[in-house]
Amino acid sequence: SAVISQKPSRDICQRGTSLTIQCQVDSQVTMMFWYRQQPGQSLTLIATANQGSEATYESGFVIDKFPISRPNLTFSTLTVSNMSPEDSSIYLCSGGGHSANTGELFFGEGSRLTVL
């Protein structure tokens, strides 16, 4: 299995500011993803973090709002830009593909953001 660490684990932010979330995997993984979980809801995929190139965003998510970096196979960042109260959510990093024979994804503990 892969162990995924995120920081910050939680934060309270002011409207209009930006926050960067870091995700570190303890082993090289082929794929990394960022998900959002709004209060009381399921997980929604924001984007696929591609190593050394621009992320691939899902419908409804754009790079200007959620810029993502992935400089290597074990690290990625997600920035939530110009935050509003609607961005209050848990943001989860996931990784998978470190084993050639499985598609299993593992998740970090999440970053719980509250925007005032």
Partner 1 sequence: GIQVEQSPPDLILQEGANSTLRCNFSDSVNNLQWFHQNPWGQLINLFYIPSGTKQNGRLSATTVATERYSLLYISSSQTTDSGVYFCAVGNGGGSNYKLTFGKGTLLTVNP
Binding site for partner 1 (CB under 8 A): 1, 30-31, 33, 37, 41-45, 48, 90, 92, 94, 96-97, 102-107, 109-110, 112
In the complex, minimum distance from the CB of residue 16 to partner 1, in angstroms, rounded to a whole number: 26
Closest distance of CB 64 from partner 1, Å: 22
Measured from the CB atom, the residue of 41 and 84 that comes closer to partner 1 is: 41
Coil/strand/helix, residue 24:
strand
Residue 105 · residue 23 · CB < 8 Å? no
8 Å CB contact between 23 and 93: yes
Q: Which C-beta is closer to partner 1: that of 5 or that of 82?
A: 5
User: Of 97, 109, 66, 115, which is closest to residue 1 (Cα–Cα)?
Assistant: 97
